[in-house]
A and B are shown apart, each in its own frame.
Chain A
Amino acid sequence: MSLFLIVALPFLGAMLPGLMNAAGRQACAGVTFTVTLLALVGLLTNLPAVLAGEIVSARVAWLPGLGLDVTLWLDGLGFFFAALILGIGLLIIAYARHYLSRDDHMGEFFTYLLLFQGAMVGIVLSDNVLLLLVFWELTSLSSFLLIGYWKHLPEGRQGARMALAVTGMGGLALIGGMLILGRIAGSYELSVILENRDAIQASPLYHPALVLILLGCFTKSAQFPFHFWLPHAMAAPTPVSAYLHSATMVKAGIFLLARLWPVLSGTTEWFVLVTGAGLITMVLGATIALFKHDLKALLAFSTVSHLGLITMLLGTGTAFGAMAAVFHILNHATFKAALFMSAGIIDHGAHTRDIRHLGGLRRLMPVTFVIATLAALSMAGIPLLNGFLSKEMMLEEAAHTTLFDLPWLVPALAVLGSLFSAAYCFRFVGQVFFGPVRDDYPSHPHDPGPGLWGPPALLVVLVVGIGVMPFLAEPFVKLVTAAVLGGTAEVPGAHLAIWHGLTPALYMSIVAVGGGLLLFLAHRPAQRLWDGTPRPEAKALFDGLVAGAVGLARRTVAPLHDGAFSRYAAILAVTVLAVGAHAWLTGASEGPSRTMQTPSVVHVAGWAMLVAAAGALVFFHRNRLLSLILIGIVGLMVTAGFVLFSAPDLAMTQLTVEVVTIILLLLALNFLPNRTPVESSSLRRVRDGAIAVAGGLATMALAWHYLLRDTVAPSISEFHLANSYKGGGGTNVVNVILVDFRGFDTYGEIIVLSIAALLIFALTEALLSGPVRARLLNRVPDQARAGGTHPMLMVIVTRVIMPVVMLVGFYIFLRGHNEPGGGFIAGLIVSIGFVMQYMASGFAWTSARLKYPYHGVIGAGVLTAGLTGIGSWFFGAPFLTSAFTYVRIPPFDKFELATAAIFDLGVFLAVVGAVMLSLESFSRLARRAHGPEDDYPMGVDPSRDDLPRTTEMGA
């Protein structure tokens, strides 16, 4: 099966459980299981190639310009991890099916689980490091969802947030490190990076890259000092703990250490940092684990400790260390997942995970006892179980490792860690299963069905199988080790065997197990000592750190961002002015190249009106109705300016927009106070006036400057003028630019307009369904209302001219390609026609006669425009390529048919829909406010017997 499919399957399948939740728990789990099984089978089809030492790869270009391509590869290491992820995933899914209770949303759980699985498989199969980083972040996100799956538990939410914060920070560091690495190697492909060991280690950037990558790996794999998040993540459901926090996600950091081992390892820095962190984590984790009473907390810290062990082995930089690490990854995944599942079973049966409330379960849960005991003894390092083998290899490696020139340091710490490890394993078995049967369990403990104990039992079979017959696993372990070494070192000749003779490792092992047993026997006093010792609490430190960061951010932002809009506006204006002034003062420009045109008296009069209206607006802005009239004058003068300066299309647009804007503002003013009170101090007004004058002078100077000079570079308008008729089939160049040359822009613009209208509609809906509704209903208009809301004359005139308006709109639309006009203008004209009906005959009358909702009109417009664009694909042309032809149907004159006209129709519809939806929303507010409006579209109608005001008419 293609590697793409193996990675994609979990993602594609992730949709299924969520969708199938209603089909039942069995179906949900079944489909998840099937998807995972398919991916695993697909992976296994590549096994022969991997065993033959080939590297399977698949590639497709994604963003080659960034060096980001979807390149996947599969070698021994990738196969090992992918098989672990998918194989243990299968067991976890089967287990979770029986573990989750009826109240849990199973579809949601399995969707998250599959997302996580896909991301993990993606990490281990990525060849491109940028792609790997994407998957890396995805595991952080999906694990966040999984840890916080029980949303009602505060521990779950806090644990999820902590895990996301820590691993997310590490992920950021990792991105930096990987980018540096790719930069040094000149490629973002791992396969290339791995061949550049010398270049990377010689580079001055090696140290920053190493530190950043280690930060990423250590946070993910919970290495000291970032180990604290893992125990808190145990608030997750047990299947998640077993899957993410023992077998897979926390191994992602280890995986990356192993993956990059050929290029990063072997230096002193690597050795000190990785081995040092690993050793500390191993001893610290094991020590804390011994004194935890919660089974899952014990296992969590033991996981921390074992991850430290593996990290330490990778840090030594020897081939034997790498082999031991690989072997221990395999062994740890088997026994730890089994232990987690056993803890879940105990929790499930006894309704507690507190060791102090347990004991004697050996008789009550015999099956679980066998499974958990074998797994725990394997973890303790007892012979004939797989944990013993890799632990002895670890001790062997430790015996040959010298840190800080102290030959005894590493072996002593390794023995100490193993000793505590053995002690907590004995405690796990001894205090949970042995001892007298108690009569105060929170619930009656019993063995569950095979659905729950089956998956861990399978793992324990592996634990014993590998433990007794290690030679069976040896070829595979060596294959993976070879992939880790990547040709930089020979695969060690040592064999995986139970008996190596009387080696130092054996003595160390005996000391560790014996010491562990003694420590277990002395657990009670040791616990008292531990409880009496003050220790820093990681969660409190973390919470304090987060609170400090939040406080710092708040103190930095609050003074700047105090919610005073007028202040932001002033700051913005001054900043823009300052930047502009700097450019003006430091730049150079040539003298005027154009001559000034002489204005006539009419021109000056128009200018004077505009300036006077704008000035008056400032002085009389407190009278809001007056300011509407004044802004109308400004708009008219701008329109006149467009007419004068050869822009008929603009003039028509501006005029029609002016009309709808004023109507809109009138509708709004209906609710707002009619006057603006005097509030700002005179000092403040002087300040604002100064900013305003400065801004005005600046824009004036800028406009004045460029109006007297020719363009710096030739404008592309020449092309438009030359090709408008030849290429676009229209003589109105502005319209051809809109619907043809830059049709894609226009398409985007009508969508923006439509979204604005929908937003207004949504806001209105929200207002009308909230407390504002009651307020509107109780509102008393602040001014006397005119009688006769629908004057007869206006009703008749608007109805009579409605067809004329439509005809004009139609005409303007049709001629738009060749003469001033087009979809935008026609849309506005038709809208005004509709608005007139609303105003004259009332909301109810007009709405009752409305066949199509405005949302539909908007949608039809955008779709028409879009489909016109797509249509050109069928002719092998890019989106929105236009075509036109001339036809002649007697007795009409020759006329043109252009696809651009259909696009323009879309523009027309979208504009009509958007404008009408906005205005309609406003008037719906008004309608609420004034209660039921007149039943009659005409205030006075001579033909009507005007008595029963309650009779329904029209609709």
Chain B
Amino acid sequence: MEFLVASAIGVLTAAGLYLVLRLRTFPVIMGTSLLTYAVNVFLFASGRLATGAPPILTDAERYTDPLPQALVLTAIVISFGMTAVVVMIALGAYLGADDDHVDDAPAGEDAR
């Protein structure tokens, strides 16, 4: 199971990185979303993996680590805010200049 999680993190990171390196805004946003998943799962997994041991206090013997969960919970919500801002900026740039490239035009074509 540990291998599955680790490899899932790896796959998410690889796919995210590849998309982040694309030239248009939309795939880059997709890439950052994938990277967000990867980072969140990575952080979450730092509490190690435990099944059937939620951090809800009962008579149970063991609980999984609650701290990474609390960190990741806010991270998920904030990453929504971050995605929304990036999308808004991308949209504004596209609507304003009719261009959704993430890179500036090479010098010469466009006056700074």
Contacts and interface: CB of A to CB of B under 8 A. Distances in A.
B51 A759 contact: no
Contact of A664 (B16, B24, B46, B83): B83
Given A564-B104, A680-B23, A707-B2, A689 B51 contact: no
B83 to A, nearest CB: 6
B9 A653 contact: no
Interface in B43-87: 44-58, 63-67, 69-70, 72-74, 76-85, 87
A695 B13 contact: yes
A699 B4 contact: no
Contact of B15 (A618, A756, A772, A828): A618
Given A621-B30, A645-B64, A646-B54, A734 B95 contact: no
Contacts of A610: 8, 11-12
A796 to B, nearest CB: 29
Contact of A672 (B6, B45, B100, B107): B100
Given A615-B15, A642-B44, A772 B96 contact: yes
Given A645-B51, A672-B91, A707-B49, A567 B72 contact: no
Interface in A637-674: 638, 641-642, 644-650, 653-654, 657, 660-661, 664-665, 668-669, 671-673
Interface in A56-96: none
A723 to B, nearest CB: 11
A732 B55 CA distance: 6
Interface string B1-40: 1111111111111111111111111111110011001101
A692 B15 contact: yes
A824 B26 contact: no
Contacts of B100: 672-673
Contact of A763 (B23, B58, B88): B88
Contacts of B51: 597, 644-646
Contacts of B77: 653, 657, 749, 753, 824, 828, 911
A671 B94 contact: yes
A672 B25 contact: yes
A945 interface: no
Given A642-B44, A676-B27, A721 B63 contact: yes
A649 B13 contact: no
Given A607-B8, A641-B41, A647-B44, A733 B56 contact: yes
Contacts of A650: 44, 69, 72-73, 76
Q: Which residue, B6, B30, B80, has most C-beta atoms of chain A within 10 A?
A: B80
B112 to A, nearest CB: 9
Contacts of A657: 76-77, 79-80
A603 B11 CA distance: 16
A646 B73 contact: no
Contacts of B63: 646, 721, 733
Given A676-B24, A721-B63, A733-B66, A921 B76 contact: no
B6 A700 contact: yes
Contacts of B4: 599, 603-604, 607
Contacts of A472: none
B81 A914 contact: yes
A696 B94 contact: no
A793 interface: no
SS class of chain A's interface: helix, strand, loop or mixed?
A: helix
A807 interface: no
Contacts of A760: 84-85, 88
B48 A756 contact: no
B49 A597 contact: yes
A693 interface: yes
Contacts of B96: 767, 770-772
Interface string A674-715: 001101100000001101110111111111101110110001
Interface string A411-424: 00000000000000
Contacts of B20: 566, 569, 573
Contact of A594 (B16, B45, B48): B48
B80 A661 contact: yes
B18 A641 contact: no
A757 B6 contact: no
A500 interface: no
22 contacts: A563-B103, A565-B28, A565-B102, A566-B102, A597-B1, A621-B27, A634-B37, A647-B69, A648-B54, A657-B76, A661-B33, A664-B80, A698-B13, A703-B42, A707-B2, A707-B5, A711-B48, A717-B47, A732-B55, A742-B70, A820-B54, A824-B73
Interface of A: 558, 562-567, 569-570, 573, 594, 596-599, 603-604, 607, 610-611, 614-615, 617-618, 621, 624, 627, 631, 634-635, 638, 641-642, 644-650, 653-654, 657, 660-661, 664-665, 668-669, 671-673, 676-677, 679-680, 688-689, 691-693, 695-704, 706-708, 710-711, 715-717, 720-721, 724-725, 731-734, 737-738, 742, 745-746, 749, 752-753, 756-757, 759-760, 763-764, 766-767, 770-772, 775-776, 818-820, 824, 828, 911, 914-915, 918, 921-922, 925
Interface of B: 1-30, 33-34, 37-38, 40-42, 44-58, 63-67, 69-70, 72-74, 76-85, 87-92, 94-96, 100, 102-104, 106-107
Given A734-B69, A922-B88, 14 more contacts: A570-B21, A607-B4, A611-B11, A645-B51, A646-B63, A650-B72, A650-B73, A692-B21, A700-B6, A701-B6, A703-B6, A704-B7, A706-B45, A918-B84
9 nearest A-B residue pairs (beta carbon): A696-B14, A700-B10, A563-B104, A756-B81, A692-B18, A704-B6, A731-B57, A737-B70, A733-B66
